[in-house]
Amino acid sequence: MATTETMTLNMGPQHPSTHGVLRLVLELDGEVITKITPHIGYLHRGVEKLSEYRTYHQILPLTDRLDYLAPMSNNLGYILAVEKLMAVEVPERAETIRIIMAELTRLQSHLVWIACHALDIGAMTVFIYAFRERETIMEIYELISGARMTSNFFRVGGLSQDVPDEFVKKVSDFIDVMPGYLDQYEGLLTTNPIWLKRTIGNGVISAEDAIDFGITGPALRGSGVDLDLRRDNPYGGYEKYQFQVPVGENCDTFDRYKVRLVEMREACKIVRQGLERLKPGPVLADCPQVCYPPKESVYNSIEGLIHHFKIASEGFPAPEGEVYQGVEAPKGELGFYIVSDGGNKPERLRIRPPSFVNLQAIEKMSKGTMIADLVAVIGTLDIVLGEIDR
């Protein structure tokens, strides 16, 4: 009599569709998955530990490197947490530029998602197209911060510097053409029979399960839960902007795809509103205890130089207490929890990474399906290992 037994298959950490160094140990019955054991931590750099030894200004560059596909969203979350702790008011111009950049970052992150997700399921053209548009956003990054990925552009109390004059035109031109490009992607995917076969009914997770697993962001909205922190707990000035929050119905990969596409269109609208609100003015709060002095005064006066030196080397003491700031990052709720003991360094900095929490549901979403469908689930969860491992 023939007997069957399950097979253990190792997937990753070096694997094109695991989006980084994720290792999955799969238990297979034929081609059907019966158990998934994820192994993470290959990219662990101890950011939370390092932060306990750095001043509040010095931690900012570390946050770029968490979700490296959305650096400014990470910067924003951290900066807002520190500003909440220090009770610093940010000038309107800085707030507006932050929101423009946060939404461009959302577009950038979602472009990488659609590119890699489609490539994983066999649609290569979208990858080339989406990376073309991403390049424009990287150029905007380079224009304002000098770096394409590790932007380090925001500061506690505002921005490191004002944006150059060509910024408005460059962003405006991009937002004019972006919806047309989104139509192109939709033309390639939304009615594509192969895409539909691969995504409809794939990776189903009910609303109750999604909440139970702590899933946030587009993955939660794809399961029909109407939660968006930008609208429900506005931060950093989002209460002044009008936008729709898309919600899915069928809890599958296709609905999450549709949710993210609508989010990209809404992000374009928010950027447009931001450009309309952009008025000349200061970009750094008038709060010398906390903020860096303007560069002109550093270069031209001894007081400015001393001030800069003091803030750069010693930082600023924060009041004793603890704050949590959650922001709607492209991948879900990104939270920064700071415990201060009154010193110039945090007693504890906890980063709540959306990808880490979302990845936990991978077994629930792909148990009983084929290996090829697991690749689609990894794509739809939109994980970044830099953020998971920290």
Residues in contact with other proteins by CB under 8 A are: 40-41, 44, 46, 48-50, 53, 84-85, 87, 211-214, 216, 225, 227, 232-233, 321-324, 326, 333, 335, 337, 339, 341, 347-348, 350, 352, 356-357, 360, 389-390
Least distance CB 24 / other proteins (angstroms): 14
Least distance CB 27 / other proteins (angstroms): 15
Closer residue to other proteins in complex, CB, 113/235:
235
* Letter string b/e over residues 10-23, b meaning 16 or more CB atoms within 10 A of that residue's CB: ebbbebebbbbbbb
Least distance CB 82 / other proteins (angstroms): 12
Closer residue to other proteins in complex, CB, 308/348:
348
Closest CA to 18 of 390, 376, 389: 376
Closer residue to other proteins in complex, CB, 61/214:
214
Least distance CB 388 / other proteins (angstroms): 9
Closer residue to other proteins in complex, CB, 293/335:
335
Task: Please classify residue 322 by burial: count the beta carbons closer than 10 Å to its beta carbon, then call 0-12 exposed, 13-18 middle and 19+ buried.
Answer: middle
Closer residue to other proteins in complex, CB, 273/325:
325
Least distance CB 64 / other proteins (angstroms): 20
* Letter string b/e over residues 205-232, b meaning 16 or more CB atoms within 10 A of that residue's CB: bebeebeebbbbbbbbbbbbbebbbbbe
Q: Could you tell me where the DSSP H helices lie in the chain?
A: 47-51, 56-64, 71-86, 92-120, 124-145, 166-189, 193-199, 207-212, 218-222, 229-232, 253-277, 295-300, 302-314, 354-359, 362-366, 371-381, 385-389
Closer residue to other proteins in complex, CB, 271/361:
361
Least distance CB 383 / other proteins (angstroms): 13
Radius of gyration of the chain (CA): 22
